[in-house]
């Protein structure tokens, strides 16, 4: 199959990119013309929650994958805070089986058994069975000795920090001391951005991510409509306007490597409670690309949501739009003006703080292992 896009023409054979160029069309059969759109390396969301097993009423693996694909995402990394927790190969294998190769599926297993924070899981065995990284996301790791041993495993440890400044600080010091691979999840505060910038300047090899809500909203967005405030509740919570600006600057100057959604669905009933009673977490698969493209360039989108995640997760040839690599790609319309309509989400969670926001830029298709799927477009303006 040959796909003709605005920026590139590619030939796909056996799920891989066989040729890239402008002279592929002569006499070619099976040409798919999407020349009004742009093909980019496939978007990988390296932080999400799919809720299966245990909380399928919020989301399940299938609805989560449908939601990701509808948002133009071709690779996802579900976190381990399911019930039972994804801390063993039985659950891990079951999840991979359920995903059924419909998307790049790279589970993140727990660092500690049951996410209790006191005993390391069998990182090596889990890695051999398909775990891409390890995290107790949802809970910070407070045991310093255990954290040190996790780093010493050499596996990628994704750290959820709650008291961001304090935890980021000691974990960076420990990384400097023992080495290893450390990535900070959902950075949202100015102090953390400053600490990580400083660490990188000092040569410490660390990476981090933020999420679209942290550069789109801040605390001032609360209170406008008291009853809707639960919709803005996530952990870590929205920061101040200064925090939001620091996140934007951190993305622009390279301190923040990745944008991940932290897609964390709950039922509508749960989310529509007031701020104190709504659970932490908002959905993000179907709004991420629009949120990024509305504020940043498509180059930044590619860097923070495709190339850097692949690099950090060591996913060689997965999505890089090069000859010989797998054809896992995203198709975007950079100029499409559209309005978020939560009712149209494929996620089971049809409530989002982005609802009603007008975005410029949208995912219009995905190519997964060479298979093209155009997205039925949401509400056109």
Q: Which DSSP letter does residue 307 get?
A: I
- Report CA-CA distances (Å) from 2 to 32, 72, 348: 6, 20, 35
By the rule CB under 6 A, 183 interacts with ligand DOR:
no
Phi, psi of 122 (to 5 degrees): -85, 80
Separation CA 326–CA 320 (nearest Å):
8
Is 262 a residue of the active site?
yes
Among 264, 312, 329, 340, binds ligand DOR (CB under 6 A): 264
Each residue of 369-379: b (16+ CB within 10 Å) or e? Answer: bbebeebeebe
By the rule CB under 6 A, 47 interacts with ligand DOR:
no
By the rule CB under 6 A, 348 interacts with ligand DOR:
no
By the rule CB under 6 A, 234 interacts with ligand DOR:
yes
Q: By C-alpha distance, which of 193, 196, 268 is closest to 230?
A: 268
Q: What's the number of CA atoms in the CB half-sphere (13 Å) around residue 314?
A: 9
Q: Which is nearer to ligand DOR, 186 or 190 (CB)?
A: 186
By three-state DSSP, how is residue 11 classified? Answer: strand
Among 81, 171, 192, 218, binds ligand DOR (CB under 6 A): 81
Residue 235's binding partner among ligand DOR, Zn ion, none (Cβ under 5 to 8 angstroms by kind) is: ligand DOR
Interface characters, 113-142, with ligand DOR (x: CB under 6 A): ------------------------xx----
CA 30 to chain centre: 33
Q: Which is nearer to ligand DOR, 137 or 286 (CB)?
A: 137
By the rule CB under 5 A, 137 interacts with Zn ion:
yes
List 87, 243, 262, 333, catalytic entry = 262
Q: Within positions 258 to 287, which residues make up the interface with Zn ion, using CB under 5 A?
A: 262
Nearest position to ligand DOR, beta carbon: 281
- Report CA-CA distances (Å) from 43 to 172, 203, 231, 261, 349: 28, 28, 25, 11, 21
At closest approach, how far in Å is the CB of 135 from ligand DOR? 10
By the rule CB under 6 A, 239 interacts with ligand DOR:
no
Q: By C-alpha distance, which of 76, 62, 126, 92 is closest to 318?
A: 76
Residue 280's binding partner among Zn ion, ligand DOR, none (Cβ under 5 to 8 angstroms by kind) is: ligand DOR
Could you list the residues that contact Zn ion (CB under 5 A)?
137, 262
| Catalytic residue list | 262
**Can you give the binding site for ligand DOR, defined by CB under 6 A?**
49, 81, 137-138, 160, 234-235, 264, 280-281
């Amino acid at each position: 199959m040959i796909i003709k896009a605005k920026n590139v023409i590619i030939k796909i054979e056996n799920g891989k990119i066989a040729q890239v160029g402008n002279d592929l069309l002569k006499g070619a059969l099976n040409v798919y013309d999407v020349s009004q759109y742009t093909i980019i390396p496939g978007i990988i969301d390296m932080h999400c929650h799919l809720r299966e097993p245990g909380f399928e009423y919020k989301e399940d693996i299938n609805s989560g994958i449908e939601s990701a694909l509808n948002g133009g995402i071709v690779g996802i990394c579900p976190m381990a805070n399911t019930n039972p927790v994804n801390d063993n190969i039985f659950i891990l294998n079951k999840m991979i089986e359920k995903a059924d190769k419909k998307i790049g599926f790279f589970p993140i297993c727990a660092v500690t058994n049951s996410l209790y924070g006191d005993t390391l899981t069998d990182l090596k065995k889990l890695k051999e069975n398909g775990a891409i990284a390890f995290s107790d996301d949802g809970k910070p790791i407070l045991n310093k000795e255990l954290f040190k041993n996790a780093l010493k495993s050499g596996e990628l440890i994704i750290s959820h920090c709650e008291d961001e400044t304090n935890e980021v600080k000691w974990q960076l010091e420990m990384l400097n001391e023992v080495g290893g691979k450390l990535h900070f999840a959902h950075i949202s505060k100015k102090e953390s951005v400053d600490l990580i910038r400083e660490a990188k300047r000092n040569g410490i090899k660390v990476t981090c991510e933020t999420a679209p809500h942290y550069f789109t909203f801040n605390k001032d967005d609360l209170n406008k409509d008291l009853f809707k405030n639960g919709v803005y509740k996530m952990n870590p919570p929205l920061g101040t306007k200064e925090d939001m600006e620091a996140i934007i600057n951190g993305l622009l100057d390279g301190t923040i490597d990745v944008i991940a959604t932290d897609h964390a669905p709950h039922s509508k009933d749960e989310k529509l409670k007031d701020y104190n009673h709504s659970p932490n977490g908002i959905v993000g698969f179907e709004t991420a690309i629009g949120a990024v493209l509305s504020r940043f360039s498509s180059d930044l989108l590619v860097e923070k949501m495709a190339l850097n995640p692949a690099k950090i997760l060591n996913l060689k040839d997965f999505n890089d739009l090069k000859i010989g690599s797998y054809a896992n790609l995203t198709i975007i319309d950079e100029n499409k003006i559209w309005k978020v309509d939560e009712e149209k989400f494929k996620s089971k969670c049809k409530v989002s703080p982005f609802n009603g926001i007008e975005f410029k830029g949208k995912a219009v298709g995905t190519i997964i292992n060479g298979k093209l799927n155009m997205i039925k477009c949401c509400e056109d303006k």
